[in-house]
Chain A
Amino acid sequence: MPVSLKKNPVDLAFLVITATASLSVLVLILGIVFVLFSESALSIKEFGILRFIFSTDWNPVIESYGAATSLFGTAVTTLLSLVLAIPVAIGIAIFVTEIAPGFLKGPIGVAIELLAAIPSIIYGMWGLFTLAPIMADYIEPALQDTVGRIPFVGILFEGTPMGIDLLTASLILSIMITPFTASISRDAFNLTPAIVKESAYALGATKWEVMKNIVIPYSKLGVFGGAVLSLGRALGETMAVAFVLGNNHQITSSLLDAAATITVTLANEFTEADTDLYLSALFNLALILFVMSFAILAVAKFFLLRAERKFTR
Chain B
Amino acid sequence: MTRVRLRKIESFIALSLCSLAAFAGIFWLFFILGDVIVHGASALRLELFTNDPAPPGIEGGGLRNAFVGQLLITFFATIIGVPLGVLGGTFLAEYARGKRIAKLISILSDIMVSVPSIVVGTFVYAVLVKPVGHFNGWAGAVALAIIMIPVVLRTTEDMLRLVPWTLREAAFALGAPYYRVITQVVYRGAAAGIFTGVLLSIARVAGETAPLLFTSFNNSFFSINMNEPISSLTATIFQYAMGPYDDWHSQAWAASLVITLFILLVTILGRMIIKMRYGGK
Contact = CB atoms under 8 A, between A and B. Distances in A.
Given A19-B91, A119-B234, A92 B22 contact: yes
Contact of A94 (B18, B25, B90, B121): B18
Given A8-B177, A25-B112, A120-B207, A286 B122 contact: yes
Interface residues of B, number: 94
A91 B85 CA distance: 36
Interface in A231-258: 232-233, 235-239, 242-243
A25 B172 contact: no
B68 interface: no
Given A99-B19, A121-B234, A290 B259 contact: no
Contacts, number: 279
Contact of B114 (A28, A94, A229, A243): A229
Contacts of A117: 203, 263-264, 267
A239 B238 contact: yes
Chain A: interface residue count, which band?
35 or more
A288 B241 CA distance: 29
A208 interface: yes
B153 A206 contact: no
Nearest to A104: B22
Interface string A188-215: 0000000000000000001111011000
A290 B98 CA distance: 29
Interface of B: 7-8, 10-11, 14-15, 17-22, 24-26, 28-29, 31-33, 35-36, 39, 83-92, 94-98, 102, 105, 107-112, 114-123, 125-127, 146, 149-150, 153, 168, 172, 177-179, 182, 203, 206-210, 213-214, 217, 234, 237-238, 241-242, 249, 252-253, 256, 259-260, 263-264, 267-268, 271
A205 B14 CA distance: 14
Q: Is the interface of A mostly helix, strand, loop or mixed?
A: helix
Given A1-B98, A19-B91, 8 more contacts: A2-B172, A15-B95, A119-B234, A119-B259, A123-B32, A270-B121, A298-B111, A301-B110
B212 to A, nearest CB: 10
Given A121-B238, A271-B213, A293-B114, A22 B24 contact: no
Interface stretch (A32-40, A43-51, A60-68): A32-40
Contact of B92 (A22, A108, A122): A22
Given A175-B28, A236-B117, A289-B116, A301 B111 contact: yes
A282 B119 CA distance: 11
